[in-house]
Structure 1
Amino acid sequence: MSHSYNSIEEVLKAVKSNQLSINDAKAQLSHYDELGFAKIDLHRAQRQGFPEVIFGQGKTKEQITKIISSLIFHNEVILVTRVDEMKAKYILQHYPNLEYHQTAQLISTPLKDIPQSKYYVSVLCAGTSDLPIAEEAALTAEIMGVSVKRFYDVGVSGIHRLLSNIHDIRRGKVSIVIAGMEGALASVVGGLVNHPVYAVPTSVGYGANLNGVTTLLSMINSCAPGTSVLNINNGFGGGYNAAQIIHMLENKESEVSL
């Protein structure tokens, strides 16, 4: 793995001192890495605060492995979503230091290597059937360096389960609410907390759920203010957005302390 350079000046100095070859310097200064089947965005972290994330669904195991190789060369945190076990087994044979999170179908840099934030995100899951999407959200936030507290199986059909955890949920700075069926949990949580809520509808439900469309429409029509709705089964989007808010909050505090 190569050293990471934070500026053009650092790259030029490394070349001058023979610490970096000209070819490696060109790679460090590139805006993207051309792989033929993909152009890897190497400046994503500089623009958005986190490296390019690999959407594994629809890509071959060989393609994913080559993309990971490019990102690792540039010392980026690895996050690959929607990876089945067969692809994961192949990828981990090439990169055994990465972790596979089976429930979320996600490959990442080891969580132990990622410092976590002071503030945390509350991730709520209505039912056990929604766990894959909830874990995708929770792990995405954690891989982005944000602490997470999980509150699972707290759907409205047994609302006492939610209320017994409400004080800890409120202490979080953002809530991600994962629910299928009619998606009522998002509205309930939205009416109980004073921070942003990201609602993620899932495709869990009987026929009239329409593979999550009913849940999506229900969440969009929530009367609880402060609730934003992600796409169906988009746990990644919920985790990413929540992590951005935590980073903004902590960066603001750092600026004030200076």
Structure 2
Amino acid sequence: MANKKPTILVVNDDGITAPGIKVLLEEMQKIGRVVVVAPDSPQSGMGHAITIGRPLRLDRIDLYEGVEMYKCSGTPVDCVKLAVNKIFKGTKPDLCVSGINHGLNYSINVLYSGTMSAAVEGAIEDIPSIGFSLDDFSHHADFSHCRPYLISIVQQVLENGLQKGVLLNVNFPHSSKEIKGIKICRQATAKWFEEFDERMDPYNREYFWMTGQFKLLDRGEDTDAAALANGFVSIVPTQFDMTAHHAITELNSWSFDSDRKHEE
């Protein structure tokens, strides 16, 4: 990296016009060459969805001066796939950064997040990848306090690299909190308890609107939830290998003999 500026792929799930991605690409321009590929409309909560039932469109746009930008009709993961296959064409960027998401992606939310899934797809492609999110869902969220940490975290990844199959999930506290520093954390245990608001459309057909509450089930002080609550930037090393390695030994002790006769 000392002899040339790195190439950085910037993606998100809030859409190419979201304020969060503007902040991220502006900071990445200070470090290297930036290529932006982002959805043409908000794709929050898409997880690792890909588009297979309809064609994808990828259009070059001039939204910000000096930035190579493309809007994609697909999901955040589609954006990464198209970038790797059609824009970089056999080469790969030195880094993939996703965000900055309007809203936290800590704890179990990492599974639902389009922001994090884009970063996961980058890691699957062996690209060092980071997902960034802020504790503020507002379109007019204040990202100013995130800027110096973006640079610091990205530079550390570029200098030190990441282990194969590992990416970083970074969450920032709300701008109303003074950031005390960075904490390396584990993912907190939590769950969404959904409710479905039942309604009727003008044709008297039933439909549902999902609501619910996010409940933290983990009081550990080493979690991303605890770090954010105490004013720290949380960094969780995340992997896409979902194997429960600790369960393999136990499962190997089970009998899967399909010919075994069972007593009635």
TM-score range, shorter chain: 0.3 to 0.5
Q: Name the one with the larger helix percent.
A: 1
**Higher RCO, 1 or 2 (CA under 8 Å, sep at least 6)?**
2
Q: Name the one with the larger strand percent.
A: 2
TM-score, length-scaled by structure 1? 0.33
